[in-house]
Structure 1
Amino acid sequence: MKKSLLFVIDSLDVAGAEKSLVTLLNLLDYTKYDVDLQLFSHGNMLERLVPKEVEILKPLNYTIFTKLNLRSALIHTITTSNFNMFSSRVRYSFKIRKEKSGNKQKARIYWESASNVIENNPKEYDIAISYAQGVPTFYVAEKVKAKRKMAWVNVSYRLDDKEKQFQKFFYDQYDKIIAVSDSAKEVFLETFPMYKDKLKIQYDINNPQFISNMAEIGKGYQDNFDGVRILTVGRLAHQKGYDVALETCKQLKNRGVNFKWYVLGKGPLRAGILKSIKELELTEHFILLGVEANPYPFIKNADIYVQTSRFEGFGIAIVEARMLNIPVVTTRFDAVFNQMIHEKNGLVVERNAKAVSDGILRLMKDRDLKERIIDYLHTEKKGNTEEIESFYQLIGEDAPAGV
């Protein structure tokens, strides 16, 4: 008899955890598992890559309600005589404006405001997995019936005391907590040492054949630029260190380098980044491309991949650049040495504009260094699809024959 699995994640937008989940779903043995997927935001780009065997559950009622404009929401509320959703929405908006909140605080505020109007999942699963922190973790803990529950931790998860106390209630209800790297595990235990015995490591699964195939299809750069192409892939958010990237870009321009720096991603800092681009006179040099469902042709045709992150759970975009043999310059963050070997597969530098620009210029000017790094990238191990065996072990199954 097949085991029933539920995965829950905020969305399938183009980001690290989302790509990791899609890769995992494409490797599962569907002769052994029935799989449901619950999203809190629908219609994003990676949904088209979900295997047909996976049942993407219909949107939650509150998710549908929050997409209505205010007038439509009022009409719906009056027509149904159900004021709970409207009051939850108003309460969330008021609290967000009142509190200075990052993503972790927003998740708490959302759940405090809306949990009472979010319906329970009607099924009972063998295993329910929240594949991201925050709302998916709260939802699986409170709204899902399952024989076992597992919570993924795919960022460096430092919390203040208020967030720690709030989230501990939910993590108490999980049988296992899964970190995606050794450093993610260590950082999580700094906040929650009491979970040491149920914290395991499951590395994000990366499929090099999938990435290689995707790099050969779809569009890439369209501007016929013949200088050095620098690429960054990542959400336009504080975590990714775009302030450092912009200052680095300014320094490279001032030093007369013939380059363009492209960014694939979207996020809350887009307007601020566009303003900085204009103020720093980088319109021709720092180019926001938005989101592409298939970023791999861009990665394949970049000369240098640059990551200026403050923190990462692992760093999926760096993995993908390495798979396509693109030299990397990355700042030093908690998990960076889980995959980077300084001056072997790229350069690891301090998180400041001078260090990043110096690293980029080294790769531009030192042809021998760049060629040695590219040669090393061609020979280093690609991907880790064998990690599917570890996943099967986590959920209590041996790997199917042939994996």
Structure 2
Amino acid sequence: MKKKKILIRIGSLRHGGAEKVLVTFLKNLPQDKYEIDLLLNLYSGKYLKDVPAWINIVYLNKGEMITTNRVQDIPKKAFRVVYQKLLNQFPGLLYNGKLKGKKYDIEFAAIHGMRDEILNSPLEASKKIVWIHNDLSEVKGYSEEEIRKFFGFDRIMVISEKIEQLFKDSAQNETEKNKIVKIYNPLDTEEILTKAEKNLINYKFDVKVPTFISVGTVFPQKGFDRLLKVHKKLLDEGFQHKILIVGDGYDFENIKKLKTELKVDETATLFGFTDNPYPYFKKADFYILSSRYEGFPTVLFEAITLKKKIIATDVSGVREMLRDGQFGLIVENSETGIYDGMKKAISDQNFFQPFISRLENAEMPFSLEKSVAAISAVLDEV
């Protein structure tokens, strides 16, 4: 059987949800069906080591992401920006150079940010697929006109009901509606459970006070600033507890500075990135999602898998994942909502027992096998 030639594009394989989901998907693909080139803007990230050996990695630049404007970093940063803009403006240089004139059956934007790179491909005969992981109605710069551009793809893969509805509302005919495919993210339940049993490092949980854990890339979308401000307010009111934030990102130093300004360095910990956050999930009393917006917060799948007491802001995907509040407490998407949820957790821990009971007896709608099969079907049928 002839293998389908596929080009997949993503910025890097740093520690984000979309990056993790992509690598999980690739690890579960059959090698005999596809020939895949994975094109990275930046050869960087914790998930590089997890990419299967049979997948060919191509990259535009190598090294870590530059998030500062230090004088010594400016030349390299400027070169990367100019180089990538040049290749975007003249894609033939990329396809005839780095990609060696290869003809692909499918070109796949693994995140919405790769939309224009794929749609501007000089390969007119290839089928085009995009994977949408965010509620674009909440993302700055995505007007109705910008969202309409995604219908240039042959398939629009979305990961939640809310994102699916956003695109259906934007579609102008049945042909466009038929391009939209909802598929839950592929996540490995067994891997989560196995890793959760490993020994903890570098953090001591205090059994005397409840600990709230939040895991994610540290940038404004995740609302860690709101979480810290609520943490401070509750402490001032006498509600003793601790906060553990696990993750890294370009906003890390700002959140670290805010933590010090709020004078909560003794009760709030920024742990940074770890390959295995699951032992921390397991030991913490509550999982809290403080996000301003999401697409389908896969971190909640991990919290559900580990049967955690969950508090989550009412963003895209949360009601779907928590079954309209059966599996966790859904709060208003605001500091007030986060405050109310955390206060309830500290003052009345029995309140969460019904959620845990439902989780213990529920059959999860998310399956690694089903998701991989559904995505593979899109690749096979397009």
Structure 2 counterpart of 1:137, one-letter code: R
Give runs of aligned pairs for residues 134-213 of structure 1, distance below 5 A. Answer: 134=113, 136-143=114-121, 145=123, 147-158=126-137, 165=145, 171=150, 173-190=152-169, 193=172, 195-213=176-194
Q: Deviations over 1:261-287 (max 9, x none)?
A: 111122232232222212211111221
Give the superposition deviation at 1:315: 0.6
The range that moved more, 322-331 or 219-228, is: 219-228
The residue that corresponds to 2:94 in the other structure is 119
Cα separation, partners in 2 of 1:337 and 1:359, compared to 1, 3 Å: same
Gapped runs of 5+ residues in structure 1?
A: 77-84, 93-109, 399-403
The range that moved more, 189-198 or 304-313, is: 189-198
Structure 2 counterpart of 1:24, one-letter code: F
Given that residues 312 and 334 in structure 1 are in contact (C-alpha distance below 8 angstroms), is that contact kept between their aligned partners in structure 2? yes
Give the superposition deviation at 1:320: 0.7
Structure 1 counterpart of 2:300, one-letter code: I
Structure 1 counterpart of 2:12, one-letter code: S
Give the superposition deviation at 1:329: 0.2
The alignment-based identity, stated in percent, is 25
Given that residues 119 and 143 in structure 1 are in contact (C-alpha distance below 8 angstroms), is that contact kept between their aligned partners in structure 2? no
- In 2, Cα distance between equivalents of 1:129 and 1:293: 26
The residue that corresponds to 1:388 in the other structure is 372
Give the superposition deviation at 1:70: 7.7
Two-structure CA RMSD over aligned residues (Å): 3.3
The range that moved more, 353-362 or 294-303, is: 353-362
Q: Deviations over 1:152-190 (max 9, x none)?
A: 111001267886656755x35421111111101223455
Alignment partner of 1:320 is 2:314: no
Cα separation, partners in 2 of 1:395 and 1:44, compared to 1, 3 Å: same
Give runs of aligned pairs for residues 220-259 of structure 1, distance below 5 A. Answer: 220=201, 222-226=203-207, 227-259=209-241
Give the superposition deviation at 1:19: 1.6
Residue of structure 1 aligned with 2:196, choices 215, 218, 222: 215
Alignment partner of 1:333 is 2:312: no
TM-score w.r.t. the length of structure 2 is 0.84
Give runs of aligned pairs for residues 5-16 of structure 1, distance below 5 A. Answer: 5-16=6-17
The range that moved more, 298-307 or 41-50, is: 41-50
The range that moved more, 144-153 or 278-287, is: 144-153
Cα separation, partners in 2 of 1:303 and 1:221, compared to 1, 3 Å: farther
TM-score w.r.t. the length of structure 1 is 0.80
Q: Would you say how many aligned residue pairs link Structure 1 and Structure 2?
A: 366
Cα separation, partners in 2 of 1:160 and 1:42, compared to 1, 3 Å: closer
Cα separation, partners in 2 of 1:359 and 1:165, compared to 1, 3 Å: closer
SS for the counterpart of 1:370 is helix
Q: Deviations over 1:294-341 (max 9, x none)?
A: 221221221100011121111111111111111110011132211113
- In 1, Cα distance between equivalents of 2:273 and 2:233: 26
Give the superposition deviation at 1:49: 1.9
Gapped runs of 5+ residues in structure 2?
A: none
